Copies of this chain bind each other. A is one copy, B any other.
């Protein structure tokens, strides 16, 4: 997770990364300043030198997640030259992150639903992370020639992966997740085959 050495990071960066983890693991509302301060090992007072309100930290965390996501999507683009392979990279995160998903669900989906319930101002910012995936997936489908249905297919794949994450939290089973991942890969193959046959 945090591979950088502690002393190469500013306190602000350390706060953001600690908050990022805690918001994911405990939820935004249930994470207090004391929790984050304990994790970063600074006093609560020092906190307000870097962030004026809890909402400011949330904003910074969302922005941090946006950057992490953009980076990851670029890595997937380098990893695979064809769009099918890139979409498979997306599908594969369910397996790669299974250990965390079974405990805390999907970081994007769970933050979105929590902020929706809190009727929080940052809700739309959090949705932007979803939009990042949505547009990226949509572009991949377009590259496969599925121009008209690209956005629908992207939304469908996002929904499926969200649902699998939720079910994996309720009924933790790696076998189940793998089964759904195989199902998604087959579905992807079928979309491409169906299209090239038309």
Residues of A within 8 A of B (CB): 25-27, 29-30, 103-105, 109-110, 112-114, 116-118, 127, 130, 134, 152, 155-156, 158-164, 166-167, 169-171, 176, 179-180, 183
Distance, CA A112 to CA B106, complexed state (A) = 13
Our pick among B29, B103, B162 for the contact of A162 (Cβ within 8 Å) is: B162
Q: Which residue of B lies closest to A134 (CB)?
A: B171
- How many of these chains are in the complex? 2
Partner of A117, one of B30, B166, B167: B30
Q: A114 and B27 in contact (CB under 8 A), knowing A127-B170, A127-B171, A170-B130?
A: yes
B166 A109 Cβ-Cβ under 8 A: yes
Point out the residues of chain B lying under 8 angstroms from A117, CB to CB: 25-27, 30, 104-105, 110
Tell which of B156, B158, B166 touches A113, judged by Cβ atoms closer than 8 Å.
B166
* Minimum distance in angstroms from A126 CB to a CB of chain B: 8
Partner of A156, one of B112, B116, B161, B180: B180
